[in-house]
Amino acid sequence: MAKLNYAKEYSQELAQAYPYVLYFGALWSAIKPDVKFLNGNTVEIPSLTVKGRKDGNRDTIGSFGRNFDNAWETKVLKRHRTWDTLVHPRDIDETNHVASIANITKVMNEEQKFPEMDAEAIDALYTLKNEKEAIVALSNGTITVENVLSYFDTLMDKMDEDRVPASGRILYVDTFTKTMIDTAKDVVRTSGNTVLGRTVSRIDEVEVVSVPTSIMKTAFDFKAEDGFAAKEDAKNVKMMLVHPSAIIPVVSYEFAQLESPSALSQGKYVYFEEAFEDMFIYDKKHSGIQFAVEETTP
């Protein structure tokens, strides 16, 4: 078997799978073509500002000047992750090819890599949003069936005020908040409450994605060797309203290779992959990310 580095093909295959196997797949798939790689772990994000709109004059020719500026914001990918395994040919034969490299990497992606990427996404978005605008925990401490629609309305209003596009917003909620939203919608429709009825119609405008509570946290520890875990002081994310135009996902596979059994590998297949990955935001579009979080119960 040739020593082929198929990182590019591997990356493209995973990108096609993201919307179906990641809870935040729509965000990881929101690739921005204008983001440039300087090297394997550094990206440049373009920024453009304009000014100078003024009254016209039909009788004279005014002066001309430069009314725009462009700049590049450099960001370094924080996560450098690798994975490797040895597979003995007899293991493949004796399991009727269940223990093939293809099956092993598929399980690794779906059960380890993708859950970790979900944690990376919400951890990064909360941190970056909080740096631009302090996120305050819910004033009354918790979300209930009675107030869940009001909290949703608040997040939508913030986006409306800052001219975030109405179309394309995604509301990520934990399992129990999703149940409360569905219950509240039924109550409102039965009662005929016209005020909350407006909010129900707004929920129907967004895509609502239910995410396990283990992922809906504000901060995670990413261990060097294996897996991730929520930090002890992490808050519970009850709602995260996101417009994908505000975020910049970056996943760069530098190396993915399978080598045939050899003397150096003592007769085993050797698989190794390496990736740089992270999620950034456009600083000027941070209004396209809104959180409702609860303090954790001691």
Residue whose tokens read 């283990």: 214
Asked if residue 101 is part of any domain, the answer here is: yes
| Least-confidence region, from 63-72, 173-182, 223-232, 281-290 | 223-232
Asked if residue 68 is part of any domain, the answer here is: no
Contact in structure between 73 and 45 (CB atoms under 8 Å): yes
Between CA 191 and CA 178, with CA 155 as vertex, the angle to 5 degrees is: 55
Nearest to 174 by CA among 206, 127, 218, 140: 218
Asked if residue 61 is part of any domain, the answer here is: no
Q: What is the pLDDT of residues 204-226, one digit of tens each?
A: 889 999 999 999 999 999 875 66
Asked if residue 58 is part of any domain, the answer here is: no
Q: Report the run of H or E that residue 211 belongs to, with start and end.
A: strand 207-211
Q: What pLDDT does residue 73 have?
A: 82
Asked if residue 286 is part of any domain, the answer here is: yes
Asked if residue 54 is part of any domain, the answer here is: no
Contact in structure between 230 and 217 (CB atoms under 8 Å): yes
Find which of 54-58, 110-114, 200-204 is predicted with most confidence, using mean pLDDT: 110-114
Asked if residue 56 is part of any domain, the answer here is: no
Q: Is the pLDDT of residue 116 over 90?
A: yes
Name the region of 165 (left: φ>0; alpha: ψ -120 to 50; beta: rest).
beta
Q: Name beta bridge partners: 79.
A: 277
Nearest to 203 by CA among 182, 177, 187: 182
Q: How far is CA 296 from CA 59, 142, 143, 151, 222, in A?
A: 67, 10, 13, 18, 20
Long-range contacts of 78-82 (CB under 8 A, 24+ apart): 78/278, 79/120, 79/222, 79/275, 79/276, 79/277, 79/278, 80/41, 80/274, 80/275, 80/276, 81/113, 81/116, 81/274, 81/275, 81/276, 81/277, 82/272, 82/273, 82/274, 82/275
More confident residue, 96 or 77: 77
Domain boundaries, position 146: 7-46+73-294
Mean pLDDT of 149-169: 94
Q: What pLDDT does residue 193 have?
A: 67
Q: What pLDDT does residue 194 have?
A: 60
More confident residue, 46 or 130: 130
Helices (H), 192-287: 194-203
What is the domain count for the chain? 1
Average pLDDT, the chain: 87
User: What is the Cα 216 distance to its own chain's centre?
Assistant: 12
Q: What pLDDT does residue 154 have?
A: 92
| Cα 123 from Cα 258, distance rounded (Å) | 32
Q: How many CA atoms lie within 13 A of 199 on its CB side?
A: 23
Q: What pLDDT does residue 96 have?
A: 62
| Cα 241 from Cα 171, distance rounded (Å) | 4
Asked if residue 17 is part of any domain, the answer here is: yes
Model confidence, pTM: 0.85
| Cα 241 from Cα 261, distance rounded (Å) | 49
| Cα 112 from Cα 104, distance rounded (Å) | 11
- DSSP assignments along 94-123, one per residue: HTTTTT-HHHHHHHHIIIIIHHHHHHHHHH
What is the percent of the chain where pLDDT is above 70?
91
Q: What is the pLDDT of residues 271-286, one digit of tens each?
A: 999 888 899 999 889 9
Mean pLDDT of 22-41: 86
Q: What is the pLDDT of residues 222-243, one digit of tens each?
A: 875 667 899 999 999 999 999 9
| Cα 124 from Cα 250, distance rounded (Å) | 12
CATH at residue 209 = 3.90.1690
Please, which pLDDT band fits residue 1 given cuts at 50, 70 and 90?
very low
| Cα 125 from Cα 220, distance rounded (Å) | 12
Q: What pLDDT does residue 254 have?
A: 79
